[in-house]
Amino acid sequence: GQAGSARLMAARGPKAFATSRAAVAWSHGYADGDVLPVSLLLATVTGIVRSVNVPVSVDVEGGYATDATGVGETIARVIDAGGAGINIEDGTADPALLCAKIEEIKRVAAKTGVDLFVNARTDVYLAGLAPAESLVLEDDQSKWHLVWATHRDRAEDARIKRYIEIYRSPAV
């Protein structure tokens, strides 16, 4: 299973592990795409965390909920299972929903005292796979909030600075 694979990989000395949403879903006989029961995700995370001595980041797909509160509940359970970070999909929903999910995730993590790493799939812009100007949100302030909510802990990183400068609104 996933924990056994993690243990084998741990011998190679990685500094962290990340789960693959598709691999976890498929290993339990489910399709990729927010259909895996959260209980099976948590069992997988618990096994991996127990098998390795490095932080584990968990792909939580869209958060296994349609609203920020539900996503926060899922993330609290992921943290309880030992997750040190998460990857959450932006999907096709309104970007404001992703921002709300991130804010709730950060609130839940802070409440538990965990400095949870959040990858909110803005990586295509940060890696230069799409120009910053093509980030389609309602307005520049929404873009700024999305980048800031996700990456404020890395505000000195040159790439993050660029996005903050591009989308910073005088109202912020």
Residues whose CB falls within 8 Å of the CB of residue 62, separated by 6 or more in sequence, listed in order = 34, 71, 88, 89, 91, 93
pLDDT digits (tens), the chain, 172 positions: 676 676 667 777 778 888 888 889 999 999 988 899 999 999 999 999 998 888 899 999 889 998 999 999 999 999 999 999 998 886 666 667 888 888 899 999 999 999 888 887 655 455 555 555 555 444 445 545 555 555 555 555 565 555 555 545 444 3
Q: Which pLDDT score is estimated for 94?
A: 67
Q: Which pLDDT score is estimated for 137?
A: 47
Predicted structure pTM score: 0.70
**Angstrom distance (rounded) from CA 82 to CA 17:** 12
Q: Which pLDDT score is estimated for 15?
A: 81
Residues whose CB falls within 8 Å of the CB of residue 167, separated by 6 or more in sequence, listed in order = 132, 135, 140, 141, 143, 144, 147
Q: Which pLDDT score is estimated for 20?
A: 85
**Angstrom distance (rounded) from CA 91 to CA 154:** 24
